[in-house]
């Protein structure tokens, strides 16, 4: 085997290092990079299974104009010409780029430079607007610069870690494992603040299931508690912090424990426990993500957390910091180059001296002088006819923006739409006039910055397939064709990297913490060999901040009144992620292993609500808002608060006839950051009755449209499984079956229909539908896709060994289902997670399922206890 290539994971902001070994063709073996500071060799379930996603299935391999293949020359000329003409006719602000935290820093830098320095507009915004723009706004308000004043090392050194609005066990699993390691090593306490009881809460010291949107009340209450107990850091407040007039008076009014407990809907005793723990533990890291950021009061929520850390001096010291953890692999790189419409470049804003400085550096002909349109406003502007040409890179707004049906109208309406993507038919790409084939993870070269400011290299492992090209190359080619050949004369990512590094250092007298001066002269070889490094070590350790007077600012923030239930939309929708899927599933959706953890999009409903709505576990349920409606499979869960439901963000038209969450939220945003309030939408939930249920298994990967009410596609080894449900005659589903020898068992009176198609002795397709809803196990039939010489007995749908169903797959590394685990716990009297590992292997590889195992164990023990009573 050739020597492993060291690169960085394609997924989350933890930024794990990977040692990848190409093994021929498109195959790669994936291991964690032991030398990477973010993960020291560990990988979660998604990282572990990256190798299953580097195939060419579904890839866009050639430039396309409409439905026709075009040469790169023709496609690039067309993009340049249409943008130039639109700008000439309607001005620079009539065009826009919508980009992504999944671009590399070098890609991002050239896109930002083209828009802000050469086109002369700041209409370049990014999906990071939906992700952590509230944290950016909060940092700027408090510190005078968007600096995350924490690192993963702080987690090792903290005595208390507070996770606010973060399902770390699923979304940042390796950070979560690091937290667990700190707990084991030094007894670090863990508090989770989240309206849902997630797997992150498993084994936590405290879980505060607060009323959604009441985080400001909770943090202000804590600040008032600390103030009253004289527990603030008076020296730090005097030397390093400015408090505006009236700040303390406001904190001292209406923030007593009882009032706060009521506002947050948690018991005063629990709240007091948390407050006492916080008071007693100076080494505190408060880590937060989307439960804080994705709110129409997101920026105030960020500052409520930052206020606490400033007032207690818990910042700039080991093990003490507010820590905004980022989602995407290069969300931070985007912030560093200034890829948001509200920032200019290299941590500079649109102040006149900054515009002049960057203009000089770029030798730019037409600098943007003011912020551009933020994501939600940008798509609104398209619908209003103000944006006439849009270029979308590495993001899928038809799924991920709020009120996504209006976004689809905008994508349909915009006179010229360019989409650069790695996949041919995303929900966004299907609207494009020009589609440009981008290089994917594993084919790209450049750098990314993770949540703790560590910059790592992404390196190519595989050759560029078809005519795919890196994003930086595509943007540069368009810029050259628009007339700016010299300003975009890059030959390789290293050229761009050096220029970016020089800009961070350019006329930077220390006012900006981001300064990559040492990198600016790096040679090509050194760039190739670059080791991961963190910029801005220990920011604010000297108690000086990036404000004009060097002091941080306390921000007066008060809890906004929370809306009560509406008559027609009486419940509240919370949205978020599953452990083994990534966003709109363009890549994780290709992995049979990752598909098993959650096969369908579920709406999680509290048992009390389910009873009131007449919904049983496994029923279909409709979730509607004034913006639209979508169908989900119902799951009854007491981890929800009554009155609140949760749906995942992942499913799109490509995988399911329902389950699209993005069309439901309102396009309401935080006034400071423009970040949408994805976590709280008034909704109505209803049961949807169906006459039959069933499934379809098809060999091969070609997707089909199943003509029924509910059909969700699940990638399986050798083909696809479709879970289906509907009304009327199910015979029409047979149109989805391939040609071949037909075996059938149809019982009209009992309403069962079993049809198998066998071709060349192999199973080509199966359809099984029943009225009773009782269905055979899928696993055995899926296994038959790999068997030679399948006969008519396949319709018995049970193997000779009469294998029992595994249940939902908990450990994807070893394919171990819930039923196996429960059985082993009972039969072998297993008492802890390591014992389950020893008995079954579950949880002993990537470790992502360990919180789930702990949960299953706790439940099984509870049941045994009840049985004994």
What are the residues binding ligand SF4 (CB under 6 A)? Answer: 9, 11-12, 14-16, 39, 43-44, 46-47, 172-174
> Environment class of residue 705 by beta-carbon count within 10 Å: exposed (0-12), middle (13-18) or buried (19+)?
exposed
DSSP 469: B
CB of 571 to Mo ion, least distance (A): 25
Query: What is the distance between the alpha carbons of residues 535 and 452, in angstroms, rounded to a whole number?
Result: 9
Q: How far is CA 466 from the centre of its chain?
A: 29
Q: Which is nearer to ligand MGD, 357 or 672 (CB)?
A: 672
Q: Which is nearer to ligand MGD, 406 or 699 (CB)?
A: 406
CB of 15 to ligand SF4, least distance (A): 6
Q: With CA atoms as reference, report the closest residue to 48 among 576, 782, 814, 701.
A: 814
β-strands 752-759, 762-770 pairing: antiparallel
Among 98, 108, 143, 170, binds ligand MGD (CB under 6 A): 170
Query: What is the distance between the alpha carbons of residues 815 and 812, in angstroms, rounded to a whole number?
Result: 5
Q: With binding defined as CB under 6 A, does residue 144 bind ligand MGD?
A: no
Q: Which is nearer to ligand MGD, 72 or 361 (CB)?
A: 72
Residue nearest to ligand SF4 (CB): 47
CB of 667 to ligand MGD, least distance (A): 11
- The helix (H) or strand (E) run that includes residue 39 is none
Q: With binding defined as CB under 6 A, does residue 661 bind ligand MGD?
A: yes
CB of 832 to Mo ion, least distance (A): 34
- The string of DSSP letters for 87-100 reads HHHH-GGGEEEEE-
What are the residues whose beta carbons fall under 8 Å from the beta carbon of 409, sequence distance 6 or more?
Answer: 383
| 52-91 positions binding ligand MGD, by CB under 6 A | none
Output the CA torsion 678→679→681→686 (10° steps): 110
Output the CA torsion 488→490→496→498 (10° steps): -110
DSSP 531: P
| 568-627 positions binding ligand MGD, by CB under 6 A | 574-577, 579, 581-584, 586
Number of H helices, E strands in the chain: 28, 34
Q: Which token pair is 497?
A: 């990297």
Among 194, 233, 300, 723, binds ligand MGD (CB under 6 A): 194
Q: Which does 14 bind (CB under 5 to 8 A by kind): ligand SF4, Mo ion, ligand MGD, none?
A: ligand SF4
Q: Which does 165 bind (CB under 5 to 8 A by kind): ligand MGD, Mo ion, ligand SF4, none?
A: ligand MGD
Q: Which is nearer to ligand SF4, 12 or 494 (CB)?
A: 12
Q: Which does 313 bind (CB under 5 to 8 A by kind): ligand MGD, ligand SF4, Mo ion, none?
A: none
CB of 509 to Mo ion, least distance (A): 34
Q: Which token pair is 456?
A: 């790592």
Query: What is the distance between the alpha carbons of residues 585 and 433, in angstroms, rounded to a whole number?
Result: 23
Q: Which is nearer to ligand MGD, 357 or 679 (CB)?
A: 679
Q: With binding defined as CB under 6 A, does residue 515 bind ligand MGD?
A: no
Q: Which is nearer to ligand SF4, 11 or 535 (CB)?
A: 11
Q: Which does 174 bind (CB under 5 to 8 A by kind): ligand MGD, Mo ion, ligand SF4, none?
A: ligand SF4
Among 99, 110, 114, 131, binds Mo ion (CB under 5 A): 131
DSSP lists the bridge partners of residue 30 as 20
What are the residues whose beta carbons fall under 8 Å from the beta carbon of 698, sequence distance 6 or more?
Answer: 704, 719, 720, 722, 736, 737, 738, 764, 765
Q: Which is nearer to ligand MGD, 301 or 770 (CB)?
A: 301
Q: With binding defined as CB under 6 A, does residue 198 bind ligand MGD?
A: yes
CB of 9 to ligand SF4, least distance (A): 3
CB of 421 to ligand MGD, least distance (A): 5
Contact 323, 154 (CB under 8 A): yes
Q: With binding defined as CB under 6 A, does residue 394 bind ligand MGD?
A: yes
CB of 7 to ligand SF4, least distance (A): 11
Question: What residue ranges in 177-317 does DSSP mark as E strands?
Answer: 189-193, 206-208, 241-242, 284-288
Among 48, 53, 86, 102, binds ligand MGD (CB under 6 A): 102
CB of 42 to ligand SF4, least distance (A): 8
Q: Which does 116 bind (CB under 5 to 8 A by kind): Mo ion, ligand SF4, ligand MGD, none?
A: none
Among 76, 160, 193, 830, binds ligand MGD (CB under 6 A): 193
CB of 586 to Mo ion, least distance (A): 15
What is the strand order of the sheet 762-770 is part of? 710-716, 719-726, 692-699, 762-770, 752-759, 741-747
Residue nearest to Mo ion (CB): 327
Q: Which token pair is 517?
A: 């001066």
Contact 529, 5 (CB under 8 A): no
Q: Which is nearer to ligand SF4, 14 or 387 (CB)?
A: 14
Q: With binding defined as CB under 5 A, does residue 147 bind Mo ion?
A: no
Contact 627, 615 (CB under 8 A): no
CB of 43 to Mo ion, least distance (A): 20
Q: With CA atoms as reference, report the closest residue to 394 among 435, 342, 433, 336.
A: 435
Q: Which does 421 bind (CB under 5 to 8 A by kind): ligand MGD, ligand SF4, Mo ion, none?
A: ligand MGD
Q: Which does 340 bind (CB under 5 to 8 A by kind): ligand MGD, Mo ion, ligand SF4, none?
A: none
Q: Which stretch binds ligand MGD (CB under 6 A): 150-158, 162-170, 447-455, 610-618?
A: 162-170
Q: Which is nearer to ligand MGD, 164 or 790 (CB)?
A: 164
DSSP 50: G
Q: With binding defined as CB under 6 A, does residue 212 bind ligand MGD?
A: yes
Among 22, 47, 165, 359, binds ligand MGD (CB under 6 A): 165
β-strands 692-699, 816-817 pairing: unpaired
- The string of DSSP letters for 600-663 reads S-EEEE-HHHHHHHT--TT-EEEEEETTEEEEEEEEE-TTSPTTEEEEES---TTTBSS---TT
Q: Which stretch binds Mo ion (CB under 5 A): 322-330, 470-478, 530-538, 805-813?
A: 322-330
Q: With binding defined as CB under 6 A, does residue 656 bind ligand MGD?
A: no
What is the strand order of the sheet 206-208 is part of? 206-208, 189-193, 160-164, 284-288, 321-324
Q: With binding defined as CB under 5 A, does residue 334 bind Mo ion?
A: no
Q: With binding defined as CB under 5 A, does residue 836 bind Mo ion?
A: no
Give, in degrees to the nearest 5, the angle at Cα 364 between 361 and 366: 140
Q: With binding defined as CB under 6 A, does residue 330 bind ligand MGD?
A: no
Q: With binding defined as CB under 6 A, does residue 167 bind ligand MGD?
A: yes
Q: With binding defined as CB under 6 A, does residue 131 bind ligand MGD?
A: yes
CB of 131 to Mo ion, least distance (A): 3
> Within a 13 Å sphere around the CA of 848, how many CA atoms are in the beta-carbon half?
28
> What is the distance between the terminal CA atoms of the chain, rounded to a whole angstrom?
59
Q: Which is nearer to ligand SF4, 122 or 812 (CB)?
A: 812
Contact 337, 108 (CB under 8 A): yes
Query: What is the distance between the alpha carbons of residues 609 and 636, in angstroms, rounded to a whole number?
Result: 9
Among 47, 213, 327, 589, binds Mo ion (CB under 5 A): 327
- Interface residues with ligand MGD (CB under 6 A) are 12, 100, 102, 127, 130-131, 164-167, 170-171, 193-196, 198, 212-213, 215, 289-291, 294, 327-328, 393-397, 399-400, 420-423, 426, 438, 440, 444, 471, 574-577, 579, 581-584, 586, 649, 661-662, 665, 678-679
- Interface residues with Mo ion (CB under 5 A) are 131, 327
């Amino acid at each position: 085997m050739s020597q492993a290539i060291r690169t960085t994971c394609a997924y989350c902001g933890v930024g794990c290092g990977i040692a990848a070994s190409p093994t021929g063709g498109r195959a790669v073996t994936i291991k964690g990079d032991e030398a990477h500071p973010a993960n020291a060799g560990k990988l979660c379930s998604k990282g572990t299974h990256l190798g299953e996603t580097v195939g060419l299935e579904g890839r866009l391999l050639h430039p396309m104009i409409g439905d026709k293949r075009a040469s790169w020359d023709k496609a690039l000329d067309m993009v340049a010409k249409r943008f130039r003409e639109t700008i000439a006719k309607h001005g620079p602000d009539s065009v826009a780029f919508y980009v992504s935290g999944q671009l590399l820093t070098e890609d991002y830098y050239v896109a930002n430079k083209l828009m802000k320095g050469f086109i002369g507009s700041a209409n370049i915004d990014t999906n990071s607007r939906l992700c952590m723009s509230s944290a950016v706004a909060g940092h700027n308000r408090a510190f005078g610069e968007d600096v995350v004043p924490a690192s993963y090392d702080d987690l090792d050194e903290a005595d208390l870690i507070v996770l606010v609005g973060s399902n770390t066990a699923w979304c940042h699993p390796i950070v979560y494992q690091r937290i667990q390691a700190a707990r084991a090593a030094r007894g670090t306490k863990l508090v989770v603040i989240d309206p849902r009881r997630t797997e992150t809460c498993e084994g936590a010291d405290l879980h505060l299931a607060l009323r959604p949107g009441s985080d400001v009340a909770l943090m202000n209450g804590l600040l008032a508690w600390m103030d009253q107990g004289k527990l603030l850091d008076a020296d730090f407040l005097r030397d390093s912090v400015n408090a505006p007039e009236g700040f303390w008076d406001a904190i001292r009014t209406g923030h007593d424990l009882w009032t706060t407990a009521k506002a947050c809907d948690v018991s005063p005793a629990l709240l007091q426990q948390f407050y006492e723990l916080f008071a007693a533990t100076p080494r505190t890291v408060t880590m937060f993500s989307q439960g804080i950021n994705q709110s129409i009061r997101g920026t105030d929520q960020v500052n409520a957390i930052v206020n606490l850390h400033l007032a207690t001096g818990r910042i700039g010291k080991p093990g003490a910091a507010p820590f905004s953890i980022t989602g995407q692999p290069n969300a931070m790189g985007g912030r560093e180059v200034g890829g948001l419409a509200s920032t200019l470049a290299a941590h500079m804003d649109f102040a006149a001296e900054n515009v002049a400085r960057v203009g000089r550096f770029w030798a730019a002909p037409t600098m943007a002088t003011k912020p551009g349109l933020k994501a939600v406003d940008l798509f609104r502007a398209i619908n209003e006819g103000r944006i006439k040409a849009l270029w979308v890179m590495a993001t899928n707004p038809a799924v991920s923006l709020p009120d996504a049906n209006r976004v689809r109208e905008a994508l349909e309406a915009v006179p010229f739409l360019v989409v650069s993507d790695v996949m041919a038919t995303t929900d966004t790409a299907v609207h494009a006039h020009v589609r440009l084939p981008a290089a994917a993870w594993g084919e790209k070269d450049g750098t990314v910055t993770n949540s703790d400011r560590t910059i790592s290299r992404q390196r190519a492992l595989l050759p560029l397939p078809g005519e795919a090209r890196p994003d930086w190359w595509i943007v540069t080619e368009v810029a050259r064709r628009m007339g700016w050949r010299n300003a975009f004369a890059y030959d390789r990512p290293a050229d761009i990297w050096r220029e970016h590094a020089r800009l961070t250092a350019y006329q930077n007298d220390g006012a900006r913490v981001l300064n990559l001066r040492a990198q600016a002269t790096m040679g090509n070889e050194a760039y190739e060999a670059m080791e991961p490094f963190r910029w801005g070590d220990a920011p604010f350790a000297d108690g000086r901040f990036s404000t004009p007077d060097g002091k941080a600012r306390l921000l007066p923030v008060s809890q906004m009144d929370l809306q009560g239930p509406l008559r027609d939309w009486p419940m509240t929708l919370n949205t978020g992620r599953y452990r083994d899927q990534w966003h709109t599933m363009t890549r994780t959706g290709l992995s049979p292993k990752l598909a098993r953890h959650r096969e369908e999009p579920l709406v999680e409903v509290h048992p009390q609500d389910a009873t009131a709505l007449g919904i049983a576990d496994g029923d279909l349920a409709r979730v509607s808002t004034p913006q639209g409606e979508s169908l989900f499979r119902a799951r009854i869960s007491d981890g929800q608060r009554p009155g609140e439901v949760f749906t995942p963000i992942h499913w799109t038209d490509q995988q399911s006839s329902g389950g699209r969450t993005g069309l439901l939220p309102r396009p309401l945003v935080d006034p400071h950051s423009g970040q949408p309030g994805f976590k709280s939408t008034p909704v109505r939930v209803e049961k949807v009755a169906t006459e039959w249920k069933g499934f379809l298994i098809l060999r091969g990967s070609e997707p089909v449209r199943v003509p029924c009410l509910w059909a969700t596609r699940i990638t399986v080894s050798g083909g696809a499984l479709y879970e289906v449900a509907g009304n009327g005659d199910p015979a029409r589903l047979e149109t989805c079956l391939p040609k071949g020898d037909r075996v059938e068992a149809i019982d009209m009176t009992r309403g069962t229909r079993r049809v198998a198609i066998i071709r060349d002795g192999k199973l080509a397709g199966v359809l099984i539908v029943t009225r009773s809803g009782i269905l055979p196990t899928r696993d055995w039939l899926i296994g038959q896709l790999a068997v030679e010489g399948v006969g008519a007995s396949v319709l018995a749908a049970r193997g000779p060994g009469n294998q029992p169903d595994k249940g939902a797959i908990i450990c994807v590394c070893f394919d171990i289902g819930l039923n196996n685990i429960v059985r082993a716990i009972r039969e072998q009297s297993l008492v802890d997670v390591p014992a389950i590992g020893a008995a079954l292997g579950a949880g002993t590889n990537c470790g992502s399922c360990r919180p789930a195992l702990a949960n299953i164990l706790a439940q099984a023990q509870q049941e045994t206890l009840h049985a004994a009573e």
